[in-house]
Every structure is written in C-alpha cells, then in structure tokens.
Amino acid sequence: MPPPGDCDYMLLALGLARAAAANGEVPVGAVLVRGAAVIASGANRPIAACDPTAHAEIEALRAGARATGSYRLNDTTLFVTLEPCVMCASALVQARVRRLVFGAFDPQAGGAGSLIDVFKLAGPKSRLDVFGGVLADECGTLLRDFFEQRRVS
C-alpha cells in the first residue's frame, strides 16, 4: 500500500500523461515533489522538442533544477506514470532524487528493476527508495489505449 498522498501526486502525473497523449506523444507524465509541494513537472515531448532525451522524467528534473537553482534535487520524490528507462533512472541518480514512485512497470525498457535496476548499480551513496505499481492499472491502461489507437490508425 503506497503512503498517503502518493496516489494524489500520481493522479497529477496521469493528467500530464493525458496531455502528452493529446499532443501525439507517448503518454508519460512526471511530478517532482519536495515535502508536500510540487516544485516541477514534465510530460513526454521528444517529438515536439525534436529531442530524444525529452522524456517526462528529464523534463521534470530540468524544470526542478531551474526552480530550485540547483541540479541537486535532494530530498525530492519523483512520481512518474511509467517505470523510468535506463537514461532517466541514471539521471535520477545524478540529480540525487531521494525517492521514486512509478505507476506501470516497463518490462521492455524499465531501468528500475524490470529490465535492469540502475539503482542497485549506482552504489550506496546514491540510493533511491523505489516504489512501483502506484495506480498501475490506470497508468498501464492509458499507455495500452494510446498504442492500440496507433495500431488501428
């Protein structure tokens, strides 16, 4: 059972994921929180940005660094609708995010345990608390529906 509040933040991330889908992007959203305050958010936008690194997590980390004036995002939690890929998981380590909460697992590209666990490779100094499966059904359904619509079109 996720701690109180985790579902609320994941619902915010789901809203961002829906907005990404409406823009033709893979529906992934991310919310960066410190204490109880949302300090940044991001949604997938590699197509719009013409940038292969413009994943929701990276967008949220960049916005968080700008908002705080530091690339070190100590004592933050990132809520994201899909298990981060290896690139995004590595960025979380570099940013010193303290906790990761994600929705759907990604058996094809997940960097938080499904394919590989970047956080176990990072060493004891860079440990993140990782909690997956928060609103997994809602997050997974959004992704499945998006790709099913793409296949039909």
Query: Looking at the annotation, which residues are catalytic?
Result: 57
Question: For residue 16, which of 40, 33, 35, 36 has the smallest C-alpha distance?
Answer: 40
Which is nearest to 80 in space by CA: 49, 117, 110, 124? 110
Hey, CA dihedral for 90, 91, 96, 100, is it positive or negative?
A: negative
